[in-house]
Amino acid sequence: MSPRLRNIAALVIFGGFALLPLLAGMLGESFLIVIATRILAFAIAALALDLILGYGGMVSFGHAAYLGIGAYAVAILQRAGITDLTLHLLAAIVAAAPFALVTGAISLRTRGVYFIMITLAFAQMAYFFFVSLSTYGGDDGVTLAARSTLLGQPLLESDRVLFYVTLGLLIVLYLLALRITQSRFGRVLTGTRENPVRMQAIGYSPFRFQLTAYVISGCMAAVAGVMLANQTEFVSPALMNWHRSGELIVMVVLGGIGNLIGAVGGAVIALLLEEFLSRFSEHWPLFFGLILIGVVLASRDGVSGLIRRIGGAK
Amino acid sequence: MSLLEVRNLCKSYGALTVTDDVCLSVEEGELHAIIGPNGAGKTTLISQLSGQLPSNSGKVRFGGEDITRLVMPQRVRRGLSRSFQITSILPAFSVMENVSTAVQAREGSSFRFFAPVASEVALNDQARAALARVGLEDRTDARAGSLSHGEKRQLELAIALATNPRLLLLDEPLAGTSGPEAERLIRVIGSLKGEVTVLLIEHDMDAVFALADRISVLVYGRLIATGTGEAIRADRQVRSAYLGEDA
Amino acid sequence: MTNLLLLQLLNGLQFGVLLFLIAAGLTLVFGIMDFVNLAHGVIYMIGAYLVVTFAGMTGSYGLGLLLTLPATLLIGLVLEFLIFRHLYDRSHLDQVLATFGLVMVITEAVEMIWGAAPLTVSMPEALSGSVPLIGPLRYPVFRLAIIAAGLLTALGLWLVITRTRIGMRLRAGASNRAMLSALGVDVRKLFTLIFAFGAMLAGFAGAMVAPILAVDTGMGESVLILAFVVIVIGGIGSIKGAFAGALLVGVVDTVGRVFGPILLKAVMDPSAAAQAGRTLAPMLVYILMALILAVRPAGLFGQKS
């Protein structure tokens, strides 16, 4: 995707979201804002995943774990009497970083199929960890007493404010991710995806760069978890079910990997599709799955190739 | 003291010995060629010297330092770079990016997350210089994957040069090229003499004898002779083992 | 205490052989075809559902089991023909997406056919009792039968792989895929065979546990991920590794859940030990995996790449 096209897409998507509450107000459909906030939170997670999947070539099947870590950071701090959103975000990042560092360091000793399975296994480990926290409802999860506070005020209790805060975070993280991919670090990361041996032959040790990217990505996904917990006011291990990790990959791929804004668009497409299909049938995953298989099989060079062809780009 | 000292280097896969007790020294400033029939183990030797392949036994000293146990990126940072027989580039990157990524590896930290790398003048200038050297200065914006084979070989050489090596290991730089393409590459390699020490593997004998100060002959993993072009041409053992002539 | 340990060891062994049946086919698919298959767990689930239905139709669990085997073999063949064979030369990402989609489709389809409520099937009369072990300790015959069936299957697989032509090809393929076609093997046919046979083994596992578990649509998922852990521990493509890994995971998981808290109580106060035990026990196999990978990135029996 050319930089120009990407900027246009970003403007359209973010601009559209910014105007959404107006539309919802006119239609009198306030639930639109609720759905849109959920989409935005997932878009943050998809963006995080694209950073390592699209740019680093690391197919992580465990990113839902970071959603969970972020969400539980809210629940746990709240019980300790800490309600401030910025502190929740900080705690989520501080908790996600070491988990990403340790599991990433082990996963990155391996390649390909191994990497996929190991990230999946570690996410499942995190899942069981939170299932065992009986003080936080175990399997059933826990309902939050209230949303996080902002500047000491319960501002996020307004769906509209929560929506705009989430949108703001998404835009900031998008710009941050964009800068990272265009930096020295981003170039090494992308180069390693392209040809690791070549990168070693000019003096880079790929591991450190991949691991750093993995940690950054995990922390970003934890931010998404904080916002998701606030949106639903409910936290449970179901958030880190392996299906969730799969859905994040689906989002990134549907939107086109390796250009960041595609991941955001993919989150919109995937969740709207889910919303749409679930109106028709309680068995919507059947149709979602069929669409997924169809899309992959229909395109010889993969889903991204199909998107490229539909998009008419080279 | 030689720039590169190889002592009793061995590599085997099971019962198959690919590098057999190789001793070799490369002097500062010389262009040293290694020739040998197909399957002599030349690429394996280069891979061992560059640190891509671990050796079973033996020692490698570079600039007086024992580098036997160092991996490839560590050796590159000490000034020991290689090019690949089978072109190894970053296909989705532009020609310029391919080379400036190599410059970046030795110029400052790569743990910089915010400043756009594409507008770093120092990197681009040095990359442009390396590209000009191999004659690719007009193709800086092309996608590396879209280059012709000959251009890719030029790029391969430019990338290796951009690491600013003290010793350059060139693994068949002319592979797959011919005519003017090959001549251009030969000129570039010749121009490196006196500036960079080069260890060259090449099948094109005319090029080797024209370029090399000294030549070593590798047959079945063993180094059977080292000397000037004339000495090698006259060596009976070389003629029988390599050129297939009766002694 | 010894009795409890023996009991849990047997339970762990039973769980282990089950994991082996699931992991055996999967590790070959990963190793020989370099193919990521997330849909293996749902075949196990289908095996359980089919045995419930077939046992209901025939009035006999044994007959139901006999019908389930060819049925899951057939399902494996059909899926390979319709979907998997089009994905062999694709990226891992595409394989992940398509098989993930397949998991959604099959899980949902099973729920539409059999309903969301868990099902049960009764075990055959002859195997429903228990036998004395030591002293007052008794162990269910059916679980012993599962262990025996699993070990026999493992033995059979071992014989096939070490003593037959096709086994030789499999071993060659697992360590070097290019060699397969060089040997003039009809790779496509071999792949189809591995898939279908792997599906049957998973279906067999599902059918065997159906009488001692609630059969529901979630049963494939936890087992799938544990099978991944088994394969990673054992080394991709290695049947021997899958066997060792499966028994290790089965025993560590089962014994750890019971003895973890007991051991912890020796070093900390009971309530803290109970919580720590509950937390650590389910994580144990993943920690085991991490430790093994830290020492041997290619797994216990994996080929170093």
**Tens-digit pLDDT profile for residues B49-80:** 999 999 999 999 999 999 999 999 999 999 99
The set of chains that have 3 or more CB pairs under 8 A with C is: A
Residue C305 predicted with pLDDT over 60:
no
Confidence at residue A314, expressed as pLDDT on a 0 to 100 scale: 34
Number of CB pairs, chain A paired with chain C, less than 8 A apart: 136
Q: Considering only CB atoms, which residues of chain A are within 8 Å of chain B? A: 179-180, 182-188, 190-191, 194-195, 197-205, 209, 212
The angle subtended at Cα C299 by Cα C298 and Cα C300, nearest 5°, is 130
For residue C304, tell me if it sits in a domain.
no
Residue C146: both structure tokens together: 């599962």
What pLDDT is recorded for position C175?
Answer: 66
**Helix, coil or strand: residue B158:** helix
Beta bridge partners of A153: A150
Which tens digit of pLDDT belongs to each residue from C184-227? 777 788 889 889 999 999 999 999 999 998 899 989 988 999 99
Kindly state whether B162 is in contact with chain A, defined as any CB-CB distance less than 8 angstroms. Answer: yes
The SS3 assignment for B116 reads: strand
Of C243, C142, C235, C233, the residue nearest C201 (C-alpha): C243
Grouping H, G, I as helix, E, B as strand and the rest as coil, residue C131 is strand
- pLDDT at position C123: 84
| A55 in contact with chain C, both atoms CB, cutoff 8 A | no
- Here the ipTM equals 0.92
Q: Are A91 and A222 in contact (CB under 8 A)?
A: no
Domain range annotation of chain B: 1-79+166-247, 91-164
- Taking only the tens of pLDDT, chain A with its 314 residues reads 678 889 999 999 999 999 999 998 888 888 899 999 999 999 999 999 999 999 999 999 999 999 999 999 999 999 999 999 999 999 999 999 999 999 999 999 888 888 999 999 999 999 999 998 888 988 899 999 999 999 889 999 999 999 999 999 999 999 999 999 999 999 999 999 999 999 999 999 999 999 999 999 999 999 999 999 999 999 999 999 999 999 999 999 988 889 999 999 999 999 999 999 999 888 999 999 999 999 888 876 555 555 555 554 43
Cα distance between residue B143 and residue C28, in whole Å: 39
Q: Determine whether the interchain pair B112/A187 forms a contact, defined as Cβ–Cβ distance below 8 Å.
A: no
Q: How far is Cα C210 from Cα C208, in angstroms, rounded to an integer?
A: 6
> Is residue B15 exposed (0-12), middle (13-18) or buried (19+ Cβ within 10 Å)?
exposed
Question: CA-CA distance, C121 to A17, in Å (whole number)?
Answer: 52
Q: How many domains is chain C partitioned into structurally?
A: 1
For residue C42, give the nearest of C209, C249, C222 by alpha carbon. C222
Q: To which H or E segment does residue B122 belong?
A: helix B121-134
The 10s digit of each residue's pLDDT in B229-242 is 888 888 888 887 76
- Residue C131 vs residues A30, C121, C138, C144, C145: alpha-carbon distances, Å: 64, 22, 5, 9, 12
- Asked if C195 and C29 touch (Cβ cutoff 8 Å), the reply is yes
Task: Name the most confidently modeled range: B216-225, C67-76, C117-126.
Answer: C67-76
**What average pLDDT does chain C have?**
89
SS3 state at B246: coil
Is residue C84 assigned to a domain? yes
| Residue C72 or C35, more confident | C72
**What are the tokens at B202?**
């090449």
Of all residues in chain B, the one with the smallest CA distance to A200 is B73
| Alpha carbon distance, N-terminus to C-terminus of chain A | 9
Chains that touch B (3 or more CB pairs under 8 A): A
DSSP C86: G
- Taking 60 as the threshold, does the pLDDT of residue B247 lie above it? no
Residue C186 lies in a domain: yes
C248, pLDDT greater than 50: yes
Contact call for A293 and C229, based on CB within 8 A: no
- Is C265 a domain residue? yes
What is the residue whose two structure tokens read 């096209």?
A5
Interchain contact B194–A (C-beta under 8 A): no
The full 3-state SS of chain A, as one line of letters, equals CCHHHHHHHHHHHHHHHHHHHHHHHHHCCCHHHHHHHHHHHHHHHHHHHHHHHCCCCCCCCCCHHHHHHHHHHHHHHHHCCCCEHHHHHHHHHHHHHHHHHHHHHHHCCCCHHHHHHHHHHHHHHHHHHHHCCHHHCHHHCEECCCCCEECCECHHHCHHHHHHHHHHHHHHHHHHHHHHHCEHHHHHHHHHHHCHHHHHHCCCCHHHHHHHHHHHHHHHHHHHHHHHHHHHCEECHHHHCHHHHHHHHHHHHHHCCCCCHHHHHHHHHHHHHHHHHHHHCCCHHHHHHHHHHHHHHHCCCHHHHHHHHHHCCC
Region at C59 (left for phi over 0; alpha for psi -120 to 50; beta for the rest): left
pLDDT higher than 60, residue C110: yes
pLDDT of residue A37: 97
CA C56/CA C105 separation, integer angstroms: 25
Torsion of CA B210, B215, B220, B224, to 10 degrees: 140
Q: Is residue C178 part of a domain?
A: yes
* pLDDT score at A309: 57
What is the predicted pLDDT for the residue at B5? 94
Question: A98 vs chain C: nearest CA distance in angstroms?
Answer: 15
In a domain, C305, yes or no: no
Find the farthest-apart pair of alpha carbons in chain C and give their distance in angstroms, rounded: 65
Q: Which range marks the domain in which residue C31 is found?
A: 11-124+137-295
Contact C83 A297 (CB under 8 A): yes
**Neighbouring residues of B10: CB distance < 8 A, sequence distance ≥ 6:** B17, B19, B20, B21, B22, B55, B56, B57, B58
Q: Do A202 and B93 touch (CB under 8 A)?
A: no
Nearest CA in chain C to A254: C97
Q: For residue C228, which residues of chain A lie inside 8 Å, CB to CB?
A: 117, 120-121
- Cβ contact C225:A126 at 8 Å: no
- Cα distances (Å, whole numbers) of residue C185 to A233, A287, C30, C158, C201: 58, 38, 18, 21, 24
Residues C246, C74 contacting (CB under 8 angstroms): no
Question: In terms of CA atoms, which chain B residue is nearest residue A212?
Answer: B111
- Report CA torsion sign: B162, B163, B164, B169: negative
Q: Give the closest-approach CA distance of C42 to chain A in angstroms.
A: 13
| C297 vs A contacts (CB less than 8 Å) | 109-110, 114
* CB neighbour list of residue C293: distance below 8 Å, 6 or more residues apart: A106, A109, A110, A118, C232, C299
- pLDDT band at residue C128, thresholds of 50, 70 and 90? confident
CB contact under 8 A, A296 and C94: yes
* C-alpha triplet A293, A299, A304: angle, nearest 5°: 95
Instruction: Residue C232: give its domain's CATH number.
Output: 1.10.3470
Q: Is domain B1-79+166-247 in CATH 3.40.50.300, yes or no?
A: yes
A/B interface, count of CB pairs below 8 Å: 95
| Strands B222-227, B214-219: pairing kind | antiparallel
Mention every residue, 6+ apart, whose C-beta is less than 8 A from residue A4: none
The span from the CA of C45 to the CA of A294, in Å, is 23
C232 contacts A114 by C-beta, under 8 angstroms: yes
**Distance of alpha carbon A42 from alpha carbon A173, whole angstroms:** 13
CA of A197 to nearest chain B CA: how many angstroms apart? 8
B169 backbone dihedrals φ, ψ, rounded to 5°: -100, 110
Task: Measure the CA–CA gap between C209 and C47, rounded to whole angstroms.
Answer: 10
**CB-count burial class (<10 Å; 0-12, 13-18, 19+) for C270:** exposed
Q: Which residues in chain C touch residue A286, judged by CB atoms under 8 angstroms apart?
A: 104-105, 108-109, 112
Q: What confidence score (pLDDT) does residue B84 get?
A: 94
- Rounded CA-CA distance A253/C97 in Å is 9
Q: Give the C-alpha separation, A32 to B148, whole Å.
A: 53
Token pair for C238: 């290695």
The residue written with tokens 């099959």 in the block is C106
pLDDT exceeds 90 at position C273: no
Check: pTM over 0.90? Answer yes or no: yes
